[in-house]
């Protein structure tokens, strides 16, 4: 196997004038540049439907738009030789002005980052570096604001933080004798990688086989096909040898982040606290590539109107290119940003109206029976399970909500405060009609001659326990012991399509698919057994026989008409009849909200500006809890990453487009255990709900766990020191500056 390395641009914005790879080739490396790759522009994330998909990416760049973008790549016998070869390549650049601020990037005269991109199949011009924009309006907003008793507003700045998944992006590609490729990538969707590689390299999909491998976390950063995958494929195809390409940590840190965003939000309400209107403007820093900005702009307002019932809304969102790492989904896909703004303003509104903010939330939240369109205007469904009141009341009691101090009343060096944030995430992007987002799953289930069951799905597991949950769903549906249900290794040539494991959809939608297949298999089992037992199929049922450690088919009224699943499958086999198997595709027609509430108690050190977490109480409404230990772990992880987003992680860029952290992990302030609350300070609990549309009543959990965390911290800090922060992260420096400013004004 050859080792690949990319030649990363040392500039954040430059045209590649000339590349001389002679010296690299002379030392035995296979080299690819822009001239060697197919001239196919693509979007690395193909979840948005093709007709509104923006495409601005090539496998290698002829114009670099961010620091570290790959302009060439090499493959060589050893990693060291590959590194030598990369350094031997000479590149001449025409260096261009760097734009790191989206507001400046939109100004007239700003250097264009793109001239044109493809939108669907049409080439469109990019003006003022605006990748796309969306306006969405419902109701009579002007009237709502004219008739409002109170309006609150704020401009919120949300940082473009790094996913910091433990494993950097990587791929191994092996060219096959038939002209095809076998690929082992870090991805959340083996099928989308297959489709993209087939399209880019013009290989029939039947010859592109992408394998599922365990991956070291992702948090959304591998929804899109990561750059090393097609680069590695191009190298392997040119070298006619298998190639491995892994990004270094610095390369990875320049490759993907959460969307940075400025949100201006206004909320209008009546004296009794009824929300009547909202105006929202979002300026979204998408970085160097448009990975999914169009749907991001749609969900941004979707999160707002699905948090609270706001009948009149005016929204405008603008997605702007900058010379920074491309923004993509990161646990929440815009939801932590919008929830931070909304939950901050809800607290301000409550203060203005002198209403308990918890009561204000209960009065206005989108709950049971309400229409819900978190995933954008076309993804509407009705809420059928709602644990919000239970979570709010239980959490309030656990944290001592009613005893919290009046905001800013504390004195002395250490000042304590309690804050609340509530939020949700959609379980999948399912809806009765197709939307602008592709969302469906597929699964096969097959009964083996020993009574064990294979589950075959292209779903991924990034550490949340998704595949374990799927095994449990099949075990329950088929009355087969859990240890006899096996999640088969997956590859694209032998699984049916599954869109992506993202959007908090693994258990809900992926689980829905395996349950649908398991139920079909169950019917097949009963029909086949009816033939052997000479009874009507609908008189038969299944149960788990614990003594035999397997499922049995039986009819309650005639006890001797029974056979084990092993006997049934063995007869089908030995009599040369058939395999009992089922395959299904499943489109969820809902995307039920997985609600989460977070109460935190903080202690602010007014000497150092440090914010300590004294206590955190998290509550989750994920419907039926399929894997309790893993579900609790999702909440704890959400708190950890959420606290990092709220307090530490900034991921700032210098004006020349370099990461201030240089891609060093410690300098980008990824939360370590020192920043995490002690274990007895953290409690988590689940609401007692059942989601009618979910597998055995389950909803999702993953992204919901982080969405309200930053807001809870900001509200707790406000409660402690009477200062509201509109910008993340709320670092000790910012706290100290704000305290000094407050002292000057009031002191």
Partner 1 sequence: MKAKAITLNVNGRRHQVTLFPNVTLLEALRDLSYTDVKNGCEKGDCGACAVELNGKVINSCLVLAWQADGAQILTNAGLGTMESPHPLQEAFADAGAVQCGYCSSGMIMAAKALLDENPNPSETEIREAISGNLCRCTGYTQIVNAVQMAAEKMMQQRAQE
Q: What is the dihedral of CA 647, 651, 656, 662, to 10 degrees?
A: 120
Tell me the CA distances in angstroms from 707 to 76, 338, 350, 721, one per residue in order.
Answer: 44, 9, 21, 23
Total Cβ atoms within 10 A of residue 539: 15
How many residues sit close enough to partner 1 to count as binding (CB under 8 A)? Answer: 42
Binding mask 343-372 for partner 1 (x = CB under 8 A): ------------------------------
Nearest approach, Cβ of 331 to partner 1 (angstroms)?
A: 10
- Contact predicate 167/299, CB 8 Å: no
**Token pair 């790879």 is at which residue?**
21
672 binds partner 1 (CB under 8 A): yes
Nearest approach, Cβ of 716 to partner 1 (angstroms)?
A: 18
**Token pair 């433990």 is at which residue?**
166
Nearest approach, Cβ of 440 to partner 1 (angstroms)?
A: 25
List the one residue from 606, 670, 689, 731 that touches partner 1 (CB under 8 A): 670
Contact set for partner 1, span 426-485 (CB under 8 A): 462-465
Contact set for partner 1, span 233-272 (CB under 8 A): 246, 248-249
What is the 3-state composition of the chain as percent helix, strand, coil, each rounded to the nearest 5?
35, 30, 40
Angle between helices 335-353 and 709-721 (to 10 degrees): 30
Q: Could you tell me the two tokens for 91?
A: 């590149």
List the one residue from 274, 570, 585, 676 that touches partner 1 (CB under 8 A): 676
Contact set for partner 1, span 636-665 (CB under 8 A): 636-641, 664-665
- Angle among Cα 450, 455, 458 to the nearest 5 degrees reads 155
Tell me the window of 87-95, 212-220, 234-242, 280-288 that interacts with partner 1 (CB under 8 A). Answer: 212-220
Nearest approach, Cβ of 697 to partner 1 (angstroms)?
A: 21
Nearer to partner 1 (CB atom), residue 203 or residue 643: 643
Rg of the chain taking only CA atoms, in angstroms: 27
Q: How far apart are the first and last CA of the chain?
A: 69
Tell me the window of 197-205, 209-217, 448-456, 502-510 that interacts with partner 1 (CB under 8 A). Answer: 209-217
Strands 260-269, 243-246: parallel, antiparallel or unpaired by DSSP?
unpaired
Nearer to partner 1 (CB atom), residue 81 or residue 529: 81
Nearer to partner 1 (CB atom), residue 577 or residue 664: 664
* 495 torsion bin: left (phi>0), alpha (psi -120 to 50), beta (else): beta
Nearest approach, Cβ of 297 to partner 1 (angstroms)?
A: 27
Binding mask 157-196 for partner 1 (x = CB under 8 A): ------xxxxxx----------------------------
Nearest approach, Cβ of 162 to partner 1 (angstroms)?
A: 10
Binding mask 54-83 for partner 1 (x = CB under 8 A): -------------------------xx---
List the one residue from 29, 105, 171, 630 that touches partner 1 (CB under 8 A): 630
Which distant-in-sequence residues (6+ apart) come within 8 Å of 600 by Cβ?
399, 418, 419, 613, 615, 616, 617, 709, 712, 713, 716
Q: Could you tell me the two tokens for 466?
A: 């998704």
Contact set for partner 1, span 561-600 (CB under 8 A): none
Q: Could you tell me the two tokens for 153?
A: 């507003």
Nearest approach, Cβ of 632 to partner 1 (angstroms)?
A: 7
Tell me the window of 295-303, 424-432, 527-535, 671-679 that interacts with partner 1 (CB under 8 A). Answer: 671-679
Nearer to partner 1 (CB atom), residue 168 or residue 364: 168
Nearer to partner 1 (CB atom), residue 607 or residue 664: 664
Nearer to partner 1 (CB atom), residue 364 or residue 597: 597
Total Cβ atoms within 10 A of residue 449: 17
Looking at residue 167, what DSSP letter applies? S
List the one residue from 109, 202, 679, 746 that touches partner 1 (CB under 8 A): 679
Sheet holding 130-138, edge to edge: 130-138, 312-321, 275-287, 260-269, 150-158
Nearest approach, Cβ of 465 to partner 1 (angstroms)?
A: 7
Tell me the CA distances in angstroms from 21 to 63, 85, 239, one per residue in order.
Answer: 17, 8, 15
Binding mask 290-319 for partner 1 (x = CB under 8 A): ------------------------------
| 3-class secondary structure per residue, 319-375 | EEECCCCCECCCCCCCHHHHHHHHHHHHHHHHHHHCCCHHHHHHHHECCCCCEECCC
Tell me the window of 63-71, 396-404, 508-516, 629-637 that interacts with partner 1 (CB under 8 A). Answer: 629-637
Tell me the window of 336-344, 504-512, 517-525, 627-635 that interacts with partner 1 (CB under 8 A). Answer: 627-635
- Residue 185's φ and ψ, nearest 5 degrees, are -110, 160
- Contact predicate 347/340, CB 8 Å: no
Binding site for partner 1 (CB under 8 A): 79-80, 163-168, 214-217, 219, 246, 248-249, 462-465, 629-630, 632-633, 635-641, 664-666, 670, 672-674, 676, 678-679, 682
């Amino acid at each position: 196997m050859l080792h690949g390395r990319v030649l990363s641009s040392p500039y954040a914005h430059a045209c590649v004038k000339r590349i001389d790879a002679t010296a690299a080739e002379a030392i035995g490396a296979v080299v690819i540049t822009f001239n060697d790759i197919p001239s196919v522009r693509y979007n690395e994330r193909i979840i948005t439907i093709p007709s509104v998909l923006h495409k601005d990416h090539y496998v290698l760049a002829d114009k670099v738009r961010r620091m570290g973008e790959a302009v060439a790549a090499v493959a060589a016998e050893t990693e060291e030789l590959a590194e030598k070869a990369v350094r031997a390549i000479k590149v001449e650049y025409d260096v261009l002005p760097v734009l790191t601020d989206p507001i400046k990037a939109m100004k007239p005269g700003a250097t264009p980052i793109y001239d044109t991109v493809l939108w669907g199949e049409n080439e469109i011009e990019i003006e003022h570096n605006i990748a796309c924009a969306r306006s969405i309006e419902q109701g009579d907003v002007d009237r709502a604001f004219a008739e409002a008793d109170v309006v609150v507003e704020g401009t919120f700045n949300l940082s473009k933080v790094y996913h910091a998944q433990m494993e950097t992006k990587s791929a191994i590609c092996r060219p096959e004798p038939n002209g095809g490729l076998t690929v082992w990538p870090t991805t959340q969707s083996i099928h989308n990688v297959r489709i993209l590689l087939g399209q880019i390299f013009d290989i029939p999909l039947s010859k592109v086989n992408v394998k599922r491998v365990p991956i070291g976390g992702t948090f959304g950063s591998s929804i899109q096909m990561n750059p090393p995958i097609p680069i590695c494929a191009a190298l392997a195809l040119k070298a006619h040898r298998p190639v491995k390409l892994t990004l270094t940590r610095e390369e990875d840190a320049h490759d993907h982040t959460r969307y940075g965003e400025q949100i201006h939000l206004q909320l209008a309400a009546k004296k009794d606290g009824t929300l009547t209107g909202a105006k929202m403007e979002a300026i979204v820093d998408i970085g160097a590539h448009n990975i999914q900005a169009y749907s991001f702009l749609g969900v941004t307002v979707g999160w707002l109107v699905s948090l609270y019932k706001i009948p009149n809304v005016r929204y405008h969102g603008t997605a702007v290119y900058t010379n920074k790492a491309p923004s993509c989904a990161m646990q929440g896909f815009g939801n932590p940003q919008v929830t931070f703004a909304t939950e901050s303003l809800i607290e301000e509104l409550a203060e203005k109206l002198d209403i308990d903010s918890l009561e204000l939330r209960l009065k206005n939240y989108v709950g049971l029976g309400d229409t819900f369109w978190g995933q954008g205007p076309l993804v509407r469904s009705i809420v059928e399970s709602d644990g919000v009141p239970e979570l709010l009341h239980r959490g309030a009691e656990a944290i001592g909500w009613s005893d919290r101090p009046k905001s800013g009343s504390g004195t002395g060096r250490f000042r304590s405060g309690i804050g609340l944030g509530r939020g949700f995430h959609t379980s999948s992007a399912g809806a009765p009609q197709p939307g602008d987002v592709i969302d469906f799953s597929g699964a096969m289930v097959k009964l083996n001659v020993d009574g064990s069951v294979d589950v075959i799905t292209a779903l991924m597991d990034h550490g949340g326990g998704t595949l374990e949950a799927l095994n449990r769903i099949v075990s329950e549906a088929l009355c087969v012991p859990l240890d006899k249900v096996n999640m088969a290794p997956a590859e694209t040539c032998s699984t049916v399509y599954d869109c992506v494991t993202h959007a908090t959809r693994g258990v809900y939608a992926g689980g829905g698919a395996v349950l649908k297949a398991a139920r079909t298999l169950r019917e097949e089992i009963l029909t086949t057994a009816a033939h052997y037992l000479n009874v009507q199929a609908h008189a038969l049922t299944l149960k788990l026989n614990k003594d035999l450690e397997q499922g049995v088919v039986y009819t309650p009224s005639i006890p001797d008409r029974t056979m084990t699943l092993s006997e049934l499958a063995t007869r089908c086999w030995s009599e040369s009849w058939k395999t009992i198997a089922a395959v299904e595709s499943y489109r969820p027609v809902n995307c039920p909200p997985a609600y989460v509430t977070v109460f935190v108690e903080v202690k602010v050190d007014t000497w150092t500006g440090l914010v300590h977490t004294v206590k955190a109480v998290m509550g989750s409404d994920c419907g039926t809890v399929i894997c309790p230990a893993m579900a609790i772990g999702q909440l704890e992880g959400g708190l950890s990453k959420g606290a990092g987003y709220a307090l530490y992680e900034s991921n700032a860029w210098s004006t020349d487009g370099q990461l201030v952290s240089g891609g060093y992990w410690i300098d980008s302030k990824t939360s370590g255990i020192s920043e995490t609350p002690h274990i007895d300070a953290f409690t988590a609990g689940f609401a007692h709900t059942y989601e009618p549309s979910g597998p055995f009543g389950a909803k999702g959990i993953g992204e919901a766990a982080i969405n309200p965390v930053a807001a809870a911290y900001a509200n707790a800090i406000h409660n402690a020191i009477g200062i509201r922060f509109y910008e993340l992260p709320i670092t000790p420096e910012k706290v100290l500056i704000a305290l000094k400013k407050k002292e000057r004004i009031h002191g």
